[in-house]
Structure 1
Amino acid sequence: MLRIGIIGTGGIADAHIGGYLAFGEQCQIVALADVLPGRATQKAEAFGLDAAAYDDPAAMIADADLDVVSICTPPSTHAALAIAALDAGIHVLVEKPMAPSLEECDAMLAAQERSGRLLSVVAQNRFRDDLATLKHVVGSGILGSISHVRVDSAWWRGLPYYDLWWRGTWEKEGGGCTLNHAIHHIDLLLWLLGRPAEVTAMLANTQHDNAEVEDLSVAVLRYDTGLAQLTSSVVHHGEQQEIVIQGANARISQPWSVAAERSRPDGFPEPDGDARLVDRIETLVAEREPLTHHGHAGQIGDLLAAIREGRDPISTGQDGRNAVEVVTAIYKAGFEHEFVALPLPASDPYYRAGQLVAHAPHFHEKQRSLIEAAS
C-alpha cells in the first residue's frame, strides 16, 4: 500500500484526492500540507480522510514516511518542493506547469536522476478518450505528412480571477494564459507532433487590468513538414477549444470529425471527397480500446502502475520540461519580436530562473491581491 502526501490544498488538490481515492486498494492518503494554517485540516475533514495535517510542507516530507507526493501549489514553488521530495526518496507528481524556467526544470530532472524515483508532470488531457483518439490516428500514419495544426486553447476568466495574490504576476505565476492555461494544449501538441524547430509569437493583455501578464497570445510553430498555429486565451467567450490536424491525406479534429478530399484530374476536390478513406479512419477509431480512467485519475493510475512495474509514466518530467521550453520560446519571441529556434540552449538568457521576470513587459500593475479566492 503506497503512502500518499499532498502539498497544497486549494481547488486542484480535489482532483488529486479523487484520483488517489479511485485506487484505494493500491494507495492511501496519509498526509496533507498547506502553508495557510488550518487549511490542510479542513481539506482532510472535507473528504473524510484519516490523514495528518501539516502547516509546513518540509515537515511533512521529513516526517510522514511517504512513497508519493502530489504538489498542487503555485508554479514558483514547484522546483524547491519537488527537489526536496525526490531527494527524500519520494516519487513526485507535480501540477502543471512544471516550473517557471528551464533551469528549474533541469534541476528537478537532476534530482530525479540522482534519487532513482519517478517524476511525473500533470498532463491530464492525455487521459481523455477524445484526445487519445487523435494520438492513435496520428500515430497510425494514415493521415500522411502533417501540413498544418490549429490549436485553440480558448478559455474565459473574469476580472476577479487575477485578484488572488499569486495570479497575474510574472514572479509568482510565472506567466499568463500561455503558461498556465495553454500548457495543456502545448503538451498535447508535443505529444502529437514532437518538438517544433522554430517559434514566433505576439502577446497582449486585452481585458484584465489587474494582471502584469498576457491574457492572449498567438504563436506560430514551424515543423519539418508544416506549421502549427496556437492561440492561448482567457478572453474567449464560450471557451470553444479545438484541435484541427490537416494531413496530406485527411483532416481530423477534436471535437471529433474527419474529412478527406480526393482530387479531380484538374486538381480541384471531388464533391464527395474520399469516402473510403474516411471510413477507414472511422473504423480505426472504433477499434481503439477506451480508457478505463480519465483525467487526473487516469494519470494517477498510470503513475501507480509505473511505480509497480518499474517503468516511466506516460507523462514524464522530460515531457513537462518540453512544454515549458515551448512556452519560454513563445515568451522570448513575443518579448523580443523575433523567431526563436529550438532547442533553447542553457546559454540563452531565457533559460535561467528570473530572466523571464527581468525581461517581461508589465501590461498592467497588480492593484488587488487577495489571500483567498472569492467564492
Structure 2
Amino acid sequence: MSPIKVAIVGCGSIGRTHAAVVLEQPELELTALVDPIPEARTALTDWLTGRAAPAEFGSIGEALAAADLFVLATPSGLHISGALEVLAAGKHVVIEKPLDVDLHRAQEIEAAAVAAAENGQLATVISQHRFDPASQAVADAVAGQKFGRITSAIASIAWWRAQSYYDSGDWRGTWAMDGGGALMNQGVHTVDLLLWYLGKPVQITAHTGLLAHQDIEVEDTAAAVISFESGALAVLHATTAAYPGLSASIQVMGSHGSARIDTDRLVYFHAAAEQSEDARMGVQGGWDQSADVIAGYADEPLVVADPTVYPLGHSRQYRDIIAALAAGTQPGVTVSDAVRALACVRAVYLSATLGQSVLFDDVLAGKYDDVEVLVAGSPVR
C-alpha cells in the first residue's frame, strides 16, 4: 500500500507532537502543514528539516489536494468547522482532544462522521490513554466481569499549570476557544476512561472554582459525583492548581476485584473468581496481581526517535488508525465516544452553575442550552 498522505492543521506544540508521530509510521507520509500564521508554519518546517519537506498552506481548502488524512491540532473551538470541511471533501480526519467546545456542534460532527463512514471515510478523536497497556488491561477485566459488579470509581487528575501557561495565548482559558479549564483540557482523557469503564452516566452533581489563577474565564478546579446506569458511583476530580503537580489516576472497584492506574501505569490489580473469607475485613494492598497481568499486555516494538516529544500512547493510537484505514473499519475511538465525554464535562459545568444535580440525558437533549455557566461566581459564556 502506498503511504497515506497526511496534513497537520495547526502548527503549534500539539501540531509538532502529531508531526513527530506521523514521521514514526512507515505507512504515513507528512505532505502538508496548514496554519494561517506563516511564522507558525515556518517554525514547524524548520524543526522538521532533514526529516520531511511538507508543503505549506494557509487554510484547509488550499491543502485538500495535498493529503488524504487531515490531523486537526488547532485550538479546540476550531475543531468542528475544520472537521466538517475535511469530511465534506471526502478526506479522513483525526481530531485532537477535546472534540470541540460546544456540545451541539460536536453532535453535528457526530452525524457527519456516521454518514462519512458509509463512504469509507475515517473520523476519530485523540484519546491516546485508551491504548496504554494498563488502560486496556482494566478495560478487558471490566468487560470480562473479572471484577464482579463494578461498584465505584475514583478518577483524579491533579496537575499544576503556572499563570504563564494561561498567559501564553489569548485563547487559553477562554470559553470560546478552550471550552473549559482543568476538566475540559487536562481532565477530558480521564473522563473518557471513566466512561469507557463504567458506561453511561445518569446524574451529575458538581462544583467548580477558580482558586489559584487569575484573568481567565474557566475553572482550575472541579469536583463531581456521578451515578451510572449500572448503579455504580464515581468521584471525578480535576485541577491545575495542585502545585507542583501530582498525577493522573483512576481507580475502579468491584465486588470481586479492583484496579488502580497511576500515571499510565497499572499499580494495583486484583481479580478473584470468588471472595475469600480471609479478606472479610479487607486486605489493603494485598494480593496484587498487577505485575503478572501487565505482562500479558506487552507493547509491540515501537521505534520512537524522540520520546520527549510525545508519549507512546499517541503512537499506539496511530497504529490503530492505520489498521482501521487498511481494513476499512472504524477506529477504536469514535466521534460518538468523544461526544459522550464532552457531554459529561458540560454536565459538570452545568451542575456547578445551577447548584443542583443534572441528568446526563437532559444535557444531551439540549435542555440547558440557554444556561450561562459560572466559575468562581463570575458569569462567563
* 1:308–1:264 distance in 2 versus 1, CA, 3 Å: closer
- Three-state SS of the structure 1 residue aligned to 2:256 is coil
> Structure 1 residue 240 and structure 2 residue 247: aligned?
yes
How far is 1:86 from its partner?
Answer: 0.5
How far is 1:345 from its partner?
Answer: 5.5
Where does residue 120 of structure 1 map in the other structure?
A: 124
> Structure 1 residue 203 and structure 2 residue 208: aligned?
yes
Mapped partners of 2:232, 2:142: distance in 1: 14
Q: More deviation in 326-335 or 39-48?
A: 39-48
Mapped partners of 1:287, 1:362: distance in 2: 46
Where does residue 297 of structure 2 map in the other structure?
A: 288
> Structure 1 residue 137 and structure 2 residue 141: aligned?
yes
Q: Percent sequence identity over matched residues? A: 27
Where does residue 58 of structure 1 map in the other structure?
A: 61
Cα deviation 1:55-110 (Å, max 9, x = unaligned): 2233223xx33210000011110000000001001100001010112211111122
Contact in 1 for aligned 2:224/2:236 (Cα 8 Å):
yes
Mapped partners of 1:309, 1:219: distance in 2: 40
Q: State TM-score, norm by structure 2.
A: 0.86
Cα deviation 1:251-306 (Å, max 9, x = unaligned): 211131135774469x5347996x4xx55x76444333435553111111211211
- Three-state SS of the structure 2 residue aligned to 1:312 is coil
Question: Higher relative contact order at CA 8 Å, sep ≥6: structure 1 or structure 2?
Answer: 1
- Three-state SS of the structure 2 residue aligned to 1:307 is helix
* 1:167–1:85 distance in 2 versus 1, CA, 3 Å: same
One-letter code aligned to 1:144: G
Equivalent in 122, 129, 154 of residue 158 of structure 2: 154
Mapped partners of 2:70, 2:291: distance in 1: 40
Q: State TM-score, norm by structure 1.
A: 0.87
* 1:113–1:258 distance in 2 versus 1, CA, 3 Å: closer
Contact in 2 for aligned 1:262/1:270 (Cα 8 Å):
no
* 1:43–1:153 distance in 2 versus 1, CA, 3 Å: same
Where does residue 352 of structure 2 map in the other structure?
A: 334
Equivalent in 205, 209, 225 of residue 231 of structure 2: 225
Where does residue 71 of structure 1 map in the other structure?
A: 72
- Three-state SS of the structure 1 residue aligned to 2:66 is coil
Where does residue 359 of structure 1 map in the other structure?
A: 373
Aligned residues: 354
Mapped partners of 1:2, 1:175: distance in 2: 34
- 1:314-325 to structure 2, matched below 5 A, reads 314-325=332-343
Mapped partners of 2:252, 2:57: distance in 1: 46
> Structure 1 residue 257 and structure 2 residue 268: aligned?
yes
Where does residue 10 of structure 1 map in the other structure?
A: 12
Mapped partners of 1:47, 1:349: distance in 2: 47
Where does residue 23 of structure 2 map in the other structure?
A: 21
Ranges in structure 1 where 5+ consecutive residues have no aligned partner? 367-375
- Three-state SS of the structure 2 residue aligned to 1:214 is coil
Contact in 2 for aligned 1:166/1:172 (Cα 8 Å):
yes
Where does residue 301 of structure 1 map in the other structure?
A: 319
Mapped partners of 1:79, 1:362: distance in 2: 29
One-letter code aligned to 2:268: S
How far is 1:205 from its partner?
Answer: 0.5
Mapped partners of 1:167, 1:272: distance in 2: 41
RMSD (Å), alpha carbons: 2.4
Contact in 2 for aligned 1:263/1:269 (Cα 8 Å):
no
- Three-state SS of the structure 1 residue aligned to 2:38 is coil
Ranges in structure 2 where 5+ consecutive residues have no aligned partner? 303-311
Mapped partners of 1:252, 1:215: distance in 2: 28
* 1:202–1:40 distance in 2 versus 1, CA, 3 Å: same
Cα deviation 1:300-339 (Å, max 9, x = unaligned): 1211211110111011111111110111111111111111
Mapped partners of 1:37, 1:11: distance in 2: 15
Q: More deviation in 204-213 or 42-51?
A: 42-51
Where does residue 369 of structure 1 map in the other structure?
A: none
One-letter code aligned to 2:373: H
- Three-state SS of the structure 2 residue aligned to 1:185 is helix
One-letter code aligned to 1:337: G
Contact in 2 for aligned 1:76/1:100 (Cα 8 Å):
yes
How far is 1:347 from its partner?
Answer: 4.5
* 1:346–1:188 distance in 2 versus 1, CA, 3 Å: closer
